[in-house]
Amino acid sequence: MITSRLPAIAGVALLAGALAAWTPLAQAADVIYVTNQEGGVSVLDPAQLGATKTIDLDSAGPRGLALTPDGKFLLTANQKTSDVTVIDTATHKIVRRIPIGKNPEFMRIIPGGRLAFVTYEPSSDGKPPVPGAKDDDDDDKTPGQVAIVDLKQWKVVRSVVGAPETEGLEFLPDGKHFVITNEGNDTVTVHSIATGKLVKKVDLKKHGSRPRGIKLSPDGKQYVVTMEHSDSFVVLDSKFKFVKAVPTSVGPYGIAFDKAGKRIVVASGRGAKVQVYDAVTHAMLAEVPVGKRCWHFTFTPDESKLLVACGRSNSVEVIDASTYKLTQTLADFKLPWGIVSYPKASGSLDVP
């Protein structure tokens, strides 16, 4: 069961009331989903964070996750079973499994919802990270791939070859192309959705090492890319030309703009911090100490809170999104990896 450590007395009363009133959440309700690499999917009510349910995935090792635009289906990318699970959000039942390939990890559903994109790495051993060692998925130079899943046919219709250790993924405003980050050769590459063809390659070696997270600003004017081994994020313009590198704490991964596009949030996994930047000047506005290996985060649907999944702390940290102060730590997760909200909100794995 997930409990709150802060504050203890109020948390106990809140948890008791929440459990007494708990009923399964229908897809229409505000809801938070968290994947646990050593468990299933945790389901949280953002208004009563002590209330929780777990969707059992039979030790599949879920990492990436995504919701269809109507909220009816939750998809998880499963490390141990090399597939994607499709879950009915009204019943929390698995309705199908889609074979992908070895070590599926990051997932996004294109705006409009007709296609899901899933990165996978044939060369990766898929083992969880060891504290003090190289990060997981630091493997050989075999290219990663992106499986494109048709959500009407519920099958893979195309696999796109990326570069070594393909990681993050974002869509271009034209709806015809997508861009991926490639950790192993320090590039971002742009591909055609229709054909998978490589149409642009951007070499970032001069500006940093190991690009990982990537997000497009709401106004379409800039891309931001976290550089995990350079402790920075890179700003690119709408044509992928380099603008600047902005220093961060250690080992940044997840990155996102808020809904208004005024702030950039960065999760520094090795630095145990969440940092907030002005989206125009890129000056740092706030810094919040959090747990260990906090890679991904989401705003709640009303944008009042920021929830951060911290894998090595087995927790989800709750941050007030107006003051950027830590208000709660939700415990007893099992190596949490990804987190998304419904209705869809800004976060490192999704957009409104």
pLDDT at 351 over 60: yes
Please report whether residue 349 resides in a domain.
no
Model confidence band, residue 48 (pLDDT cutoffs 50, 70, 90)? confident
Q: What gap in Å lies between CA 341 and CA 335, rounded to an integer?
A: 19
pLDDT for 20 equals 34
Q: Which residue has the tokens 């090492």?
A: 209
Residue pair 61/76 in contact (Cβ under 8 Å)? The answer is no
pLDDT at 131 over 50: no
Residue pair 3/15 in contact (Cβ under 8 Å)? The answer is yes
Please report whether residue 95 resides in a domain.
yes
3-state secondary structure of 264: strand
Q: What gap in Å lies between CA 333 and CA 34, rounded to an integer?
A: 9
**Mean pLDDT value of segment 30-52:** 92
- Reported as a single tens digit per residue, the pLDDT across 193-229 is 999 999 999 999 999 999 999 999 999 999 999 999 9
Q: What gap in Å lies between CA 76 and CA 98, rounded to an integer?
A: 10
Please report whether residue 350 resides in a domain.
no
pLDDT at 5 over 90: no
Q: What gap in Å lies between CA 135 and CA 246, rounded to an integer?
A: 22
Distance of CA 216 to the CA centre of its chain: 14
pLDDT at 177 over 90: yes
**Mean pLDDT value of segment 99-119:** 96
Q: Which residue has the tokens 């919701």?
A: 67
- Reported as a single tens digit per residue, the pLDDT across 282-315 is 999 999 999 999 999 999 999 999 999 999 999 9
pLDDT at 56 over 70: yes
Closest among 193, 195, 144, 198 to 170, alpha carbons compared: 193
Please report whether residue 348 resides in a domain.
no
Q: What gap in Å lies between CA 258 and CA 349, rounded to an integer?
A: 13
pLDDT at 130 over 70: no
pLDDT for 123 equals 64
**Mean pLDDT value of segment 104-120:** 96
Please report whether residue 352 resides in a domain.
no
Q: What gap in Å lies between CA 158 and CA 160, rounded to an integer?
A: 6
Please report whether residue 139 resides in a domain.
yes
Q: What gap in Å lies between CA 33 and CA 340, rounded to an integer?
A: 6
pLDDT for 270 equals 96
- Give the least confident one: 41-55, 243-257, 312-326: 41-55
pLDDT for 140 equals 55
Mean pLDDT, the chain, whole residue set: 89
Total of domains in the chain: 1
pLDDT at 13 over 80: no
pLDDT at 26 over 90: no
pLDDT at 108 over 80: yes
pLDDT at 126 over 50: no
Range of the domain at 181: 8-342
The tally of CA atoms less than 13 A away on the side-chain side of residue 237 is 4
Residue pair 138/174 in contact (Cβ under 8 Å)? The answer is no
pLDDT at 24 over 60: no
pLDDT for 18 equals 34
Please report whether residue 351 resides in a domain.
no
DSSP designation for 196: -
Closest among 284, 235, 275 to 254, alpha carbons compared: 275
pLDDT for 133 equals 45
**Mean pLDDT value of segment 180-202:** 97
More confident residue, 226 or 123: 226
Looking up residue 129, the CATH number of its domain turns out to be 2.130.10.10
Please report whether residue 213 resides in a domain.
yes
